Structure 1
Amino acid sequence: MGGKDLQIDRVSKRYGDVHALREMTFDVGEGGIFGFVGGNGAGKTTTMRIILGVLAADSGEVRWRGEPIGLETRRDIGYMPEERGLYPKMGVRDQLMYLARLHGIRKRAAGAAADEWLERFGLTERRRDELDDLSLGNQQKVQLAAALIHDPEVLVLDEPFSGLDPMAVDVMSEVLRKKAAAGVPVIFSSHQLDLVERLCDRVGIVRAGSMVACGPVGELRDGSRRRFEIEIAGGPTGWADELDGVSVLGASGDRVRVELAPGADEQAVLAAAMRSGPVGEFVPLRPTLAELFRTAVNGEESE
């Protein structure tokens, strides 16, 4: 790895006898959007805080452009915590300008950047309001603007879509796509798995501090158990019950859902179906990210 890759390499963290992270390993390439998903307490926020240097890892390393991340490089990261970390009684525009100035941006440029992000998020008319006077959704927009105000080279966002209405979700999604298109690696965690599936080119599923599945959603689907739904118009029931390597998951009317064991030949299943009657459909059942998540986290198989 190199270039603009962000690498998390075998990072571990313990609190007494509790393993918060167990050799957490993944990478996000230039222009990649990585979805970080897992249950509460799985280790997502701990990982993000270690990337930012808020927490120290017990072992392992975080690298950016092939080098260990230090104080200077962390200034190039835009971070959005799940808990809102801004000043509740400070004006929105003044707050964004202040944060930009902390990153070394001159006053005039800081004001221009603040105005740009406030306009993009539809908050220009609220620019003089205190943060506490905004709705939770608008506070979330300001929090993201604070992460973006210094034009970061990496984005690390903890639950950025929480509390947003559908229009705000669309705006924020477009912002993340544009940042990725400009070459910025983006990591975000979310419990909204439909958004993760729609936005991310790679996904990591975390359980009890360990990465249990990682890769493009398509590859994770391909690695799951093979399932099919077959329609035989007016065909007999029970035609698949005795097929080698085939488990019948359920039947309804002319349709049967089956699961194939490793090594089972789907063409043999199709041939058996055709011997039973005219096959109207032979459709692979591709699991959603939510189904993959349940399987990885709980060991459940969704039917």
Structure 2
Amino acid sequence: MRFDNVWFRYGRRAGWTLRTVDATVEPGATVVVLGRNGAGKSTLLQLAAGVLRPVHGAVRERPPVVGWVPERFPADQPFTTEQYLSHMAAVRGLRGGAGTDRWIERLGLGEHRHTRLADLSKGTAQKVGLAQALLVAPGLLVLDEPWEGLDSVARTLIPQIVGEVTAAGGAVLVSDHRGEIAGLPDAIRWTVTDGTVTPAEHRPGEEPDEVVVEVAVRRADADQAMARLRADGHRVLGVRAERAQ
């Protein structure tokens, strides 16, 4: 799937959210989209998934099966978890809700099988969104901040699922501001800045274009400092307390 000179804005008189995007997601690749909040990451992912259409340019060679998981699952729907997944399976052409039990079990949704979507926590609703995207093996899986709201057990499943999709020849496009990219080995990084997308490829066997910078901050400011670093697309490798001399 490739972006061919893609431009996008949300209104005729609005500024350009994205412009001159030329980038390709190869089969079997994992692409992580980095950038501060409001840079255009979610817009780029929605264009990839087909949720939005470019104002200029085109998204070409999109696979016929796309799995799309938005940052916030739209839970205001009159279904239980099982009803929703069965309905989505039917939309995908699966008979008898095929595949729903597998993902309900794998994502730990069994106790919420008969819970209405509107009554689910954000993290549990996010699991339902992930399940519906995987009912049919996607040629392209698009994940917008998939770790948001998930418990620690569910977060460890994301790299496993990404690896399974790419091993089957599918591509994965995922946005990340939590610094979870470390769990996605051999990922290619794209950075969105001021409406432009800069691919920075890191392939197996190549040295990543990174340096480690140690920064000391006051203990009371640590959480805020880490949040700013992650929002700017940096990885936080660890935190330690310096002993008084």
Residues 1:57 and 2:54 aligned together: yes
Residue 198 of structure 1 aligns with which residue? 183
Residues 1:37 and 2:23 aligned together: no
> After superposition, what is the alpha-carbon deviation per residue over 1:246-277, rounded to whole angstroms, capped at 9, x for unaligned?
xxxxxxxxxxxxxxxxxxxxxxxxxxxxxxxx
> After superposition, what is the alpha-carbon deviation per residue over 1:87-125, rounded to whole angstroms, capped at 9, x for unaligned?
444110110010111122222xx2x31100000011122
Residues 1:21 and 2:29 aligned together: no
Q: 2-side partners of 1:144 and 1:179: how far apart?
A: 13
Residue 94 of structure 2 aligns with which residue? 105
Residues 1:12 and 2:7 aligned together: yes
Q: Is the 8 A contact 1:41 1:208 kept in 2?
A: no
Residue 219 of structure 1, CA deviation: 6.0
Q: Is the 8 A contact 2:139 2:170 kept in 1?
A: yes
> What SS is found at the alignment partner of 1:146?
helix
Residue 161 of structure 1, CA deviation: 0.7
Residues 1:169 and 2:158 aligned together: no
The one-letter amino acid paired with 1:50 is L
- Judged with a 3 Å threshold, the aligned counterparts in structure 2 of structure 1 residues 212 and 51 are, in CA distance, closer, same or farther, namely closer
Structure 2 portions without partners, runs of 5+: 215-228, 235-245
Residues 1:82 and 2:71 aligned together: yes
Aligned residues: 216
Mean CA deviation greater in 84-93 or 179-188? 84-93
- Judged with a 3 Å threshold, the aligned counterparts in structure 2 of structure 1 residues 291 and 36 are, in CA distance, closer, same or farther, namely closer
Q: 2-side partners of 1:154 and 1:214: how far apart?
A: 20
Structure 1 portions without partners, runs of 5+: 1-5, 230-288, 295-303
Residue 198 of structure 1, CA deviation: 2.8
The one-letter amino acid paired with 1:101 is A
Q: Is the 8 A contact 1:11 1:60 kept in 2?
A: yes
Q: Percent identity?
A: 34
Superposition TM-score, scaled by structure 1 size = 0.64
Q: 1-side partners of 2:212 and 2:142: how far apart?
A: 36
Q: Is the 8 A contact 2:36 2:233 kept in 1?
A: no
Q: Higher relative contact order by CA 8 Å / sep ≥ 6: 1 or 2?
A: 2
Residue 118 of structure 1 aligns with which residue? 104
- Judged with a 3 Å threshold, the aligned counterparts in structure 2 of structure 1 residues 130 and 44 are, in CA distance, closer, same or farther, namely same
Q: Is the 8 A contact 1:214 1:220 kept in 2?
A: no
Q: What is the CA RMSD across the aligned residues, in angstroms?
A: 2.7
> After superposition, what is the alpha-carbon deviation per residue over 1:256-299, rounded to whole angstroms, capped at 9, x for unaligned?
xxxxxxxxxxxxxxxxxxxxxxxxxxxxxxxxx969946xxxxx
